[in-house]
Amino acid sequence: MASRPEVVAPPEIFYDDAEARKYTSSSRIVQIQATLSERALELLALPDDDVPKLLLDIGCGSGLSGETLSENGHHWIGLDISASMLNVALEREVEGDLLLGDMGQGLGLRPGVIDGAISISAVQWLCNADKSSHNPRLRLKAFFTSLYKCLANGARAVFQVYPENIDQRELILNAAMHAGFAGGIVVDFPHSSKRRKEFLVLKCGQRSVNASMLSRSKNEDGESCSDEDSEDEENQTVCISDRHRPRKKPKKNNKSGKGKEWLLRKKEQMRKRGNVVPPDTKYTGRKRKDRF
């Protein structure tokens, strides 16, 4: 089995009945998913007022991440493209409502109604073009724009992603920024290749992001520490230190000393040395026409 399911088959085909059951019966995956969703919920930074929120779980699969949301008392709507995964979710009697849909086609929700969105290991699927009509850039754009619309002002969206490489991470981040989101990437356990987890934390509405919250990512000891990567992604500024440098040096006038007389004198010199020199004519030392 390849290490990345994205390269094997499209999600609705990869997660067939057998794979969906396997996925949900693996206690390791269940545990990882629960940890990830809890961390995502933490990063979502919902107001601490004990009022249940209406959340969105994008790529909810068999509802493993939704269970964490239910445990915390929230209502949620789950979206997934794999019918088999949703069937498993039905069997497990998850509390949220399930939708069969493709996030790359946009979400189709009313504006400003959702209090927050989480997505565990799903967005990287959008970077693949599984059909000829798919364009990852457009699908990412459709997804993030529709998500931006349906989120309430000040709401957050947290995506746990496994980008394949730097380009993919940039593609996702750029699509999110273009849709209007502010935010950045939080990296947990940056020094461990296995435990390393990336969270894309996006905020809707206000431009200012609580930087202190974002830049705190978990370290090996479970303590919070500021991380270089996430800082760089957040504070994207354009350096303008060279602004006052003159664009071009003024051109020197090299014409002095290279007129017709200078040329004739040089030719005479060469002739005296016995070199073959073209004869002096009316064309000698004359400037070429502009159109040459």
Partner 1 sequence: MRLLTHNMLSSNIKGVVNGFPLRIEAEKVVEKTVEMNGEFLKKMFEKIDWKAFVDASRAMGPEEADCSMLDSDEFLNRFHHALLELHLEEGALVCPETGRRFPVNKGIPNMLLHEDEDTDGEDSKDGLTDIWKVGVFSVTG
* Site residues (vs partner 1, CB under 8 A): 50-52, 54, 73, 75, 77, 81, 83, 86-87, 90, 95, 97-102, 105-110, 112-114, 131, 133, 135, 138-139, 141-143, 145-146, 148-150, 173-174, 177-180, 182, 207, 236-238
State in angstroms the smallest separation of the CB of 69 from partner 1. 14
How far from each other are the two terminal CA atoms of the chain, in whole angstroms? 66
What is the number of alpha carbons within 13 Å of residue 159 lying toward its C-beta? Answer: 25
CB of 154 to partner 1, least distance (A): 14
Residues 80, 59: contact at Cβ < 8 Å?
yes
Question: Closest CB to partner 1 among 39 and 169?
Answer: 169
Find the shortest distance in angstroms from Cβ 4 to partner 1: 24
CB count within 10 Å of CB 195 equals 11
C-beta of 149 vs 156, nearer to partner 1: 149
Q: Does residue 50 come out as left (phi exceeding 0), alpha (psi in the -120 to 50 range) or beta?
A: left
Closer of 39 and 144 to partner 1 (Cβ): 144
**Is 201 in contact with 214 (CB distance < 8 Å)?**
yes
* Closest CB to partner 1 among residues 8, 51: 51
Q: Least distance (Å) from partner 1 to the CB of residue 49?
A: 8
Q: How far is the CB of 96 from partner 1 (least distance, A)?
A: 9
Give the separation between CA 164 and CA 162, rounded to whole angstroms.
6
Q: Give the integer Cα–Cα distance in Å for 270 and 25.
A: 94
Which tokens is 228 given?
A: 């270089």
Of 1 and 240, nearer to partner 1 (C-beta) is: 240
